[in-house]
Structure 1
């Protein structure tokens, strides 16, 4: 692996961390299962690509626009989703993810169809002495940090408490005076806005988009990533994005592995799936949950070691 490749992949880690933060707000905190966040990434990505290609405006100015457009789309999708919960909501968003590539191919006047949209390569501003990959890494990581702080604040605000109340019991939340319609659609809108930013940054990083970029596999990878990282945990998105970006690479590398008569040669998906099962078995609460438990165990042991033993009582 070259330094440029590693730097670019870690820029993608920051991008997918943003998408997973949004999905964590929706699924981890408000309890609404979504298999369609790849569609919201597509909205953000194509908003940036079309604006840059057709108007020539600077790429960085399109990022907030992509967030607003995708967030509005998510808010609209969230309205009919109010009537759905659990597996029915998952199936509805699954259908949304399935529809994205055909729709993008159909409106090829705007999206470029199968040929996609080619954007100008991103150059570091102000003549900074950075490579393209380094600049993408710093920019994406900075935006991810800002959005992490925002999500952290949302979770600890009245809105976050309402999300968690709805997740735990919609009946109890309604009895407490929480508006299900408002907070559930708000969760969809916030999640979609985060996905829109991620899609915009992905378009900027790759300088090229086509409908296959946002296929069903992307939405599934996002859901798997947020589960592996840790649902409803602050740093779950970070660990999940490392999984989404790097595990397929190492699965491909390990596809030539032989264990006795068992061979993974040419079968990276088998290795990927087997490793996923192992991770879920040993860390059902995700990587962040596993580290959280390990930290608590360490603190408990440290406290136990430091606590003085009681002095024996002398017998009379």
Structure 2
């Protein structure tokens, strides 16, 4: 069966579940409506935190996409997030251009960086790939400080230009990140049903069958890591725009770990609600538990273990005798 046939079968199956799909779509539309009206109720620091949560939701999606389609875990996606954030800041400082120009550039830089990393490591998987990405996260702060002429060193760079002159910065931060997140979720929903998406899933689940159809696993790994890195860089551009500043302190080793935690908390799902849960968790928990100090990473670890155990328990319950009859 060709990949195009699988895509058609997937669409037929989706249409057969029309009632459930309609309810899900209505729920998502209601969520979007609530998000669109939130600035009427929230303001100040809360609106700023929500903007960062939405930007981080895109970063969580980038990690979840790698897990879903590549079956791999990355601890160093903060590297590509930083690439996008600094792209926006440097383009503004050097060329005087707004995020309208630097956003596409950030995506291209992320895709290029992802490909450069993925190609030589295309045969790595599991713990070996995770360690390789960890090297990116560990090297990132030193790289940012070492290229002080471009990155601003320890102080970082400030992003001041507005996308829409005359509109308050707080509203721009919020609505720009929200619109981009919605577009990304729609694109991922389309990709999930496309022949390309099914080909990547097949390369992960049935590598021999995929190779018989001309889909090599190494090509699939390079492709999904490149797309995932581009998405992470897009998230970085949004993070820089939403926070109005970028610095090495925002992209430490733990930044990559927290993105992975956010992906796990969202159950690696590529939906708008799941992404928002993951983004809010990694943004609001350290913000509103700042007094906890060194306990914040411990809380992240506890949450990571709890969600993992809960997810595994949910999988196990499906195989417990008598569960289906209840």
TM-score by length of 1: 0.79
**Where does residue 110 of structure 1 map in the other structure?**
150
2:224 to 165, 168, 187: 187
**Match in the other structure for 2:93:** 53
Note if 1:26 corresponds to 2:66: yes
Encode CA deviations 1:63-85: one digit per residue, 9 max, x unaligned: 01111111111011110121101
Distance 1:214 1:180 in 2: 31
Is the 8 Å Cα contact of residues 88 and 106 (structure 2) preserved in structure 1? yes
Q: Secondary structure at the match of 1:34?
A: coil
Q: Secondary structure at the match of 1:125?
A: coil
Residue 275 of structure 1: how far off its partner (Å)? 4.0
Match in the other structure for 1:77: 117
Please say if 1:127 is aligned against 2:166. yes
CA displacement, residues 125-182 of structure 1 (integer Å, 9 cap, x when unaligned): 2534xx3212211110001111111111112111211221232243443234312233
1:65 aligns with 2:93: no
Matches within 5 A, 1:1-316: 3-120=43-160, 122-123=161-162, 125-128=164-167, 131-235=168-272, 236-252=274-290, 255=292, 267-284=295-312
Residue 65 of structure 2 contacts residue 270 of structure 2 at CA under 8 Å; is this kept in 1? Answer: no
Residue 313 of structure 1 corresponds to which residue in structure 2? none
Cα contact 1:113–1:211 (8 A) shared by 2: yes
Distance 2:287 2:127 in 1: 31
RMSD: 2.7
2:188 and 2:270 in contact (8 A); partners too:
no
Q: Can you list the C-alpha shifts for 1:260-299, whole angstroms capped at 9, x where unaligned?
A: xxxxx9744444433443333334499xx9xxx9xxxxxx
SS in 1 for 2:122: helix
Change (3 A) 1:267 1:214: closer
- Which has the larger Rg? 1
Structure 1: distance between partners of 2:163 and 2:91: 20
Q: Quote the residue 2:24 is aligned against.
A: none
Stretches of structure 2 lacking an aligned partner (at least 5 in a row): 1-41, 319-323
User: Could you tell me how far apart the structure 2 residues matched to 1:165 and 1:109 are?
Assistant: 45
Q: Alpha-carbon deviation of 1:119?
A: 2.6
Is the 8 Å Cα contact of residues 98 and 215 (structure 1) preserved in structure 2?
Answer: yes
> Take 2:294 and 2:258, find their aligned partners in 1: how far apart are those partners?
21
Query: SS of the residue aligned with 1:127?
Result: coil
Count of aligned pairs between the two proteins: 278
Measured after TM superposition, the shift of residue 249 of structure 1 is 3.2
Shift of 1:233: 4.5
Note closer, same or farther for the CA distance 1:38–1:125 as it changes in structure 2 (3 Å cut): same
Ranges in structure 1 where 5+ consecutive residues have no aligned partner: 256-264, 294-299, 305-316
Retained in 1: the 8 A contact 2:83–2:236?
A: yes
Contact 2:54 2:178 in 1 (8 A): yes
Distance of aligned partners of 1:185 and 1:281 in 2 relative to their CA distance in 1, 3 Å threshold: same
Distance 1:26 1:145 in 2: 19
- Residues 84 and 109 in structure 2, CA contact (< 8 A), matched pair in contact too: yes
